[in-house]
Amino acid sequence: DIQLTQSPSSLSASAGDRVTITCRASQSISNYLNWYQQKPGKAPKLLISAASSLQSGVPSRFSGSRSGTDFTLTISSLQPEDFATYYCQQSYNSLFTFGGGTKVEIK
Amino acid sequence: QVQLQESGPGLVKPSQTLSLTCTVSGGSINSGGYYWSWIRQHPGKGLEWIGYVYYSGSTYYSPSLKSRVTISLDTSKNQFSLKLSSVTAADTAVYYCASFGKYSYGYGPFDYWGQGTLVSVSS
């Protein structure tokens, strides 16, 4: 299995802050890394696919990048509606795996 | 716009079989290129992929659940289903149906999700 290690597992931030979440893969997965946002009681919502491709309708303050097997989700200026849990997921092979999640809380 | 909706019992007794159905609207389950999947989330925990079925009927399951899982299609109703046998309290979770595509470059993300349904395993 491809393991995805997300860090931090939680963070506190204020509106307007720049937030960075990291997802490290246990092996090379090329760009096959996706990011989701999940709010309480809701299904995950796809934000970014293929490491850096922003989905239609997702605000441009969200961005994704890759450096080797390290992937980063950045929120450039945190908005109140961004407080949620974020998950990475690899689609390099069909034995899909998710990261453990990062909960973004209000400071 | 494809929409998915889970349905099934919210309570299952230990050792019994959990059965859920996902109804697909806005697209045909029979069309190639899309895969139909189940994912679960234990209370307060992360996401766990269970398996998928393709329109051809081919399936692929998580090794950790493979011995207990069956995912199948009902093309006449545009539905796919999940059966998980010999359940225990550890199978209590929110179960999501979701879909993803396969493209020339490889597998896509889970871009369509149902709202999720909580299944509790208890006597």
Q: For the segment B66-110, what is each residue's pLDDT rounded down to a tens digit?
A: 999 999 999 999 999 999 999 999 999 999 999 999 888 789 999
Least Cα distance to A91 among B30, B103, B64, B61 occurs for B103
Cα distance between residue B43 and residue B6, in whole Å: 18
DSSP letter string, B80-117: EEEEE-S--GGG-EEEEEEEEEEETTEEEEEEEE---E
> What are the beta bridge partners of residue A101?
none
pLDDT digits 0-9 by tens, B18-52: 999 999 999 999 888 899 999 999 999 999 999 99
Instruction: Tell me the pLDDT band of A15, cut-offs 50, 70 and 90.
Output: very high
Q: CA-nearest residue of chain A to B108?
A: A91
- Please tell me the distance from the alpha carbon of residue A64 to that of residue B24, in angstroms, as a whole number: 30
CA-closest candidate to residue A82, choices A53, A98, A105, A63: A105
Interchain CB distance below 8 Å, B46 and A96: no
Q: What are phi and psi of B20, to 5 degrees?
A: -130, 150
Hey, what are A78's tokens? 């945190």
pLDDT average, residue stretch A53-58: 97
B44 touching A, CB under 8 A? no
**Cβ <8 Å between A91 and B63:** no
Given a cut of 90, whether residue B54 has pLDDT beyond it is: yes
Checking if the pLDDT of A62 tops 90, the result is yes
Q: What is the mean pLDDT of chain B?
A: 96
Q: Select from A94, A95, A97, A103 the residue whose CB has the most chain B CBs within 10 Å, as the one to mutate to test that interface.
A: A94
Query: What is the DSSP pairing of strand B79-84 with strand A62-67?
Result: unpaired
